[in-house]
Amino acid sequence: MYNQTIVVLDFGGQYKELIARRVRENKVYSVIKPGNISLGELKKLNPIGLVLTGGPDSVYKEDSPKCDPELFNLGIPVLGICYGVQLMAYSCGGVVSPCGVSEYGKTEVDVDLKCLLFKGLEPRQTGLMSHTDQISVLPEGFVCVGKTVNCPNAAIMDPEKKLYGVQFHPEVESTPNGREMIKNFLYEICGADGDYDMKDYEERMIMEIRSQVGKEPVILGLSGGVDSSVCAALLEKAIPGQLYCIFVDHGLMRKNEGDEVEAAFKGRNVNFIRVDARERFLSKLKGVTEPEKKRRIIGEEFVRVFEDEAKKLGEIRFLAQGTIYPDVIESGGNNSATIKSHHNVGGLPENMCFTELVEPLRGLFKDEVRALGVQMGLPRKFVNRQPFPGPGLAVRIIGEITFEKLELLREADAIFREEMDRSRCKADQYFAVLTDTRSVGVMGDFRTYGYTVVLRAVRTNDFMTCEYAPLSHKLLGRISLKIVNSVKGITRVVYDVTGKPPATVEWE
């Protein structure tokens, strides 16, 4: 099952998994390894190319992450991105220094079309910049092939050694032709054949699951969302008859969702167990307002519920989860900053009775998970459902979680989603958030004092970055009117027009 491989070397950037995904999109297999990997380990992987990620450090500091400088003399093509290109220049004898003017956000870049990275593109490109350092002196053998108003070496290359680098981020949506640049690196510079697809991934994971689990039973926390559902299908195929799907009804789900999940899985060849834990979760969350604390309480309680159910089934060591790449990134690890903990990553308690985790989707992004689900025979309508956070509505209610607030949000969210579906507006995710802010209103001749609801709709392909969906005022007005007229206790509706970054898709 050997595929040509690109190795992504991690120097602490938030986008390392996104880079790996962009490579796989182009039918080239990718793996992520620490930036300080030994040359011996690297050679064993036999990569056709290397990508050096971004990172938050300055390369000229003593404690900043480094790679073996001999990496650039192996004859393997290298693409350095942001910190990665600075590290390449610094390691090869160039000078990196603080910027006179730092660059953040979308920036115009003038590129040299003689560089293979920019083959087939226009001489002026837009790139997402995020840097406070820059390459001030190029190493011997390198030439500048891209510049901005404030960054004289925004793209560089040493074609003899097949070393290329860009100061901007080609892997994100905000760099419109970034995918083409990555494709050029893979095919024009690395000589890729394009021999990898999702069928390969499915076969690899089935083999890994069987190798890890053997004949032992596995418990899967089934939320009914895309990730856990595809995980269930994969496990069902890999270890038929060994899977127990436990659906925890924690009372934090969308309107009617618990019954819908049960109906969807009742006919499948899995051991489906529904646990009513609504009172249990609400009591644990009473008085809690801090978002990270909510997530950790919910994460621990999930595992405790699994443990209680596992005891009824006998001794079970394996806990399966639908963890995907964005969960891992935002929960931090290695040199990465923690954005927020996910209940199935950073929120697991240390003293749980399960001794091993099974996470076959940990290497995939959301669109890849959907493609795998369709490939495995799950209905398109089901796998294309909107993502829903593991902690559920608990992270869409600001402040303390109460039964009253949950009911208000469930109704408002259902109205918003229903109207969005009718309108056929182009948005990849949309939901309502109940704030902890109350404001005065008037209905008829009477004063009201109710909660403010925020509507959130975004467009994105990867959920690593997003832009708000520009909904029409007419649609927003209709939704607002319906919510305040139908949901007693909500008196004001507002629309969130913040992208990611600087915000996240969810509010907490």
Return the active site residues: 82, 169, 171
Query: Could you tell me which residues come within 8 angstroms of residue 43 by beta carbon, excluding any fewer than 6 positions away?
Result: 74
Residue 318's alpha-carbon distances to 208, 238, 303, 306, in angstroms, are 14, 14, 12, 11
**What does the alpha-carbon distance between residue 377 and residue 152 come to, in Å, rounded to a whole number?**
51
Say what the alpha-carbon torsion angle 203, 194, 128, 432 is, to the nearest 10 degrees: -30
Q: Angle 382-387-393 (CA atoms, 0-180°, nearest 5)?
A: 120
Backbone φ and ψ for 120, nearest 5 degrees, come out as 80, 5
**What does the alpha-carbon distance between residue 57 and residue 221 come to, in Å, rounded to a whole number?**
38
Q: Residue 4 in contact with residue 48, Cβ under 8 Å?
A: yes
DSSP string of 369-400, one letter each residue: HHHHHHHTT--HHHHTSPP--TTGGGGSB-S-
Bridge-partner residues for 439, per DSSP?
450
Q: Residue 243 in contact with residue 220, Cβ under 8 Å?
A: yes
**What does the alpha-carbon distance between residue 312 and residue 30 come to, in Å, rounded to a whole number?**
41
Strand residue runs (E) in 241-286: 243-249, 271-276
Query: Could you tell me which residues come within 8 angstroms of residue 313 by beta carbon, excluding any fewer than 6 positions away?
Result: 217, 219, 244
Reduce the DSSP state of residue 40 to 3 states and report it.
helix
The two structure tokens encoding residue 352? 């749980």
Q: Residue 76 in contact with residue 50, Cβ under 8 Å?
A: yes
